[in-house]
Structure 1
Amino acid sequence: MKIAVLGSGAMGGLYSSYLSRHNEVTVIDVNAALVEKVNAQGLEVQEPDGTSNIFHPHAVLSTEGMEPVDLIIVFVKAMFSESALNNNKGIIGPDTYLMTLQNGSGHEDLLGKFVPQEHIIIGTTQHNASVAGLGVTKHGGSGMTHMGCVVGSADRLQKFADAFTACGLDADVSDGVQKMIWNKLFTNVSASALTGALQVPLGYISANEHAWNLCCKLIREAVDAAAGLGMEFDYDEKVAEVKAVCDKSPNGLTSIYADLRDGRRSEVDTISGSVVRAGKKAGVPTPSHEFLVELIHAMEGRPKA
């Protein structure tokens, strides 16, 4: 299978490495030094057990002249998805599928500008990874990759799930993947978003009375917005799950925390913003999420100290 991976950050590096075991994989990135290193030395993946492996996908700065591929996996940050796809439209053919495993929800709306709805794959993964150096990915943990469709039955995606599984990325297909994406979203739109706005680690959210009250309010609104879209979640169960995440990683620093600390744009529009959009679609008020989205955007515009 011909696969292109847009973005060679932590997750892009992990998936392009593993998938290159049995597929023709091309990594597309804007970092010239990274592209040069991948082509010369390969991509390194450091596993949780301390072992390390080198993989050799092809890397490019530009896809000009390339033939269309079977699958494009979008791993750039959400705010760069449209420009990345526009810059690489030449590898999107009539049979190409676009897949997103990005944080948040609602990415299918953008992907629909480039391929028919029938060729969009939405998904979620239990793998986690971090960048340990140029061309080096630290694999933090494994799990399932779940794939689903925007329209029609997910059964037609089985060939992609099989290709992933054959490369060590266990995958399945499901018609309920949208609910899985939302299930993963609750921590991000509550505790994680608050760590960014307050510039504190995860443990502070569950330990501080006022921060926790805000967190619970965000979870309540998210549960109500999901229900408005026909996805039922138990509020008390979600609260307990989010608290467990905070308590188990008291010093954990989220990506949105790091983005705001370092003066980068965040993915708040596809994380907390997805709750706002769901609420508007379903006629469910989400004032806390609306406030948080605006607050985080305001923080992105701060002058550097």
Structure 2
Amino acid sequence: MKIAIAGAGAMGGRFGSMLSTTENPVTFIDLWAQHVQAINAHGLLVHTDHGDERVHVPAYLPQDVHGSFDLIVLFTKAMGIAPMLTALKPVITPQTHILVLGNGIGNIETISRFVPKDQIIAGVTVWSAALNGPGEITMKGDGGVTLEALGSNEAPFFKQVVQVLQDAGLKPTASHDVLAAIWRKAALNSVLNTYCTILDCNIGEFGQLPDHDAMIDGVLSEFSQIAAKQHMHFDAADTKQLIVAQFPDDKNGLHYPSMHQDMAKGRKTEIDFLNGYIAKVGARKHIATPINAMLTALVHSKEKLNELQSSREKVATPV
């Protein structure tokens, strides 16, 4: 199986590195030219719980990719899915399946504009990773993958994908209700990503805060209301249990979520596909979602402050 990782940052780097231990050829595709150059020159430097290693996987900018792939694993940000798939149109064939594991709600609808639903595999993952710089990631902690073929889980190719992920140590589980898993993961991210970003802390530190229960419950309560309105199964208690399970250091307690990493690097976040999605639907359906609306506003405000600070620094820097 020829596999492409579209979006070879923190999580794409992790999955690509682990998949490269199987007999299936892996290719990295990323928009960051410096990252691509570093991977091709020295391999991807990976820091793990067991030491460091360099993973040698070919890397390309989207416009430089040729040939075709059996499986494209999408790890771009939610707002980057359409631009990435547009760039990869020449290498997507009727046999190409797209596996999306990124954060947020609405990704499936975006991908359906590019391929039929029977070529889409949707899922979520609780693996974590951090992008340290060009050609360098850190991957610690444990995780797993929940996925479902939008065509049929009985399709031979889907079963092959599950086996490949299993061989790579990615701990896949086939699901018949992946949308519920996507909502659960979006709710988890709307708690951990968002609060850790606003409070500038890692997951374990958030779990030590005296008011973390109230902060979690507020977000999940509004998720429950919107899910019910959307006729979507959502179990707030189960989701809270999953969130709390991330607090220990040997799970994801030491991890700074992807939104925190994006904010620190001055990149746009996925807030509009997480808390922002709940706030937007709430406004449209006349359901009050003040907590998610406020969290969305706070993250956007931090993004704006980053822009203002960056502009001031450019003005202050002598030519």
TM-score (norm 2): 0.80
The answer to whether the aligner puts 1:155 opposite 2:158 as a matched pair is no
Could you tell me which of 223, 230, 242 is aligned with 2:232?
230
Percent identity over the alignment is 29
SS at 1:23's partner residue?
Answer: coil
The number of aligned residues is 301
What is the Cα deviation at residue 107 of structure 1? 0.9
Asked if the contact 2:183/2:234 (under 8 Å) is kept, the reply is: no
Question: Secondary structure at 1:179's aligned position in 2?
Answer: helix
Tell me: CA distance 1:32–1:270, structure 2 relative to 1, closer, same or farther (3 Å): same
Structure 1 Cα separation of the partners of residues 193 and 206 of structure 2: 11
Kept in 2, the 8 Å contact 1:118–1:149? The answer is yes
> 1:277 offset after TM fit, Å?
5.5
**Cα offset for 1:48?**
1.6
**2:281, 2:111 → 1: CA distance?**
18
Q: Which moved more, 1:90-99 or 1:197-206?
A: 197-206
Deviation at 1:214, TM superposition (A): 4.5
Structure-2 change in CA distance of 1:244 and 1:125 (3 Å): closer
The Cα RMSD (Å) is 3.0
Offset of 1:72 from its aligned partner? 1.1
Is the Cα–Cα contact under 8 Å of residues 45 and 53 in structure 1 kept in the other structure? yes
Q: What secondary structure, in the 3-state scheme, does the structure 2 residue paired with 1:273 have?
A: helix
Residue of structure 2 in register with 1:265 after alignment: 268
2: CA distance between counterparts of 1:251 and 1:274? Answer: 27
- Is 1:206–1:212's contact at 8 Å kept on the other side of the alignment? no
Range moving further from structure 2, 272-281 or 65-74: 272-281
- 1:132 and 1:258 mapped to 2: Cα distance? 9
The 2-side partners of 1:96 and 1:47 are apart by 31
CA deviation vs aligned residue, 1:92-151 (integer Å, no higher than 9, x gap): 11121111111223211111111112211111123222234432332212332221134x
The alpha-carbon distance between structure 1 residues 245 and 66, as it changes in their structure 2 partners (threshold 3 A), is: closer
Q: Is the deviation greater in 262-271 or in 277-286? A: 277-286
The secondary structure found in structure 1 opposite 2:233 is coil
Indicate conservation of the 8 Å contact 1:201/1:254, yes or no. Answer: yes
Secondary structure of the residue aligned to 1:27 is strand
Deviates most, 119-128 or 282-291: 282-291
Shift of 1:55: 2.8
* Deviation at residue 268 of structure 1 after TM alignment: 0.5
Closer, same or farther: CA 17–241 of 1 in aligned 2, 3 Å: closer
1:2 equivalent in structure 2:
2
1:74 maps to 2:74: yes
Q: Give CA-to-partner distance per residue, 1:208-238, whole Å, 9 cap, x none.
A: 54x7645422121112223333314144x54
Aligned-partner residue type, residue 49 of structure 1: H
CA-to-aligned-CA distance 1:126-177 (integer Å, 9 cap, x gap): 3222234432332212332221134x43232112111222233332321122
Q: Is the CA contact 2:128–2:255 (under 8 Å) kept in the aligned structure 1?
A: no
Q: Which amino acid aligns with 1:86?
A: T
Please name the residue that 2:85 is paired with: 85
Q: In the alignment, residue 268 of structure 1 is paired with which amino acid?
A: I
- Residues 37-69 of structure 1 show CA distances to partners (whole Å, capped at 9, x for unaligned) of 32233223333223x443322211244461221
* The 10-residue stretch of structure 1 (57-66 or 72-81) with the greater mean CA deviation from structure 2: 57-66
Distance in structure 2 (CA, Å) of the matches to 1:136 and 1:200: 22
Q: Give per-residue Cα distances to partners, 1:220-265, cap 9 Å, x unaligned.
A: 1112223333314144x54465456568788764332343354321
Describe the SS at the equivalent of 2:146: strand
SS at match of 2:223: helix
Is 1:168 matched up with 2:180? no
After superposition, the Cα gap between the structure-2 partners of 1:142 and 1:82, relative to the gap in structure 1 and judged at 3 Å, is same
Aligned match of 2:292: 289
Counterpart residue number, 2:316:
none
SS of the equivalent of 1:80 reads helix
Q: How does 1:36-115 map to 2 (within 5 A)?
A: 36-50=37-51, 52-64=52-64, 66-115=66-115
Residues 6 and 27 in structure 1, CA contact (< 8 A), matched pair in contact too: yes
Unpaired stretches in structure 2, ≥5 consecutive residues = 313-319
Q: Determine the C-alpha separation between the residues in 1 that align with 2:33 and 2:108.
A: 29
State the partner residue of 2:31. Answer: 30
With normalisation by structure 1, the TM-score equals: 0.84
Equivalent residue number for residue 122 of structure 2: 122
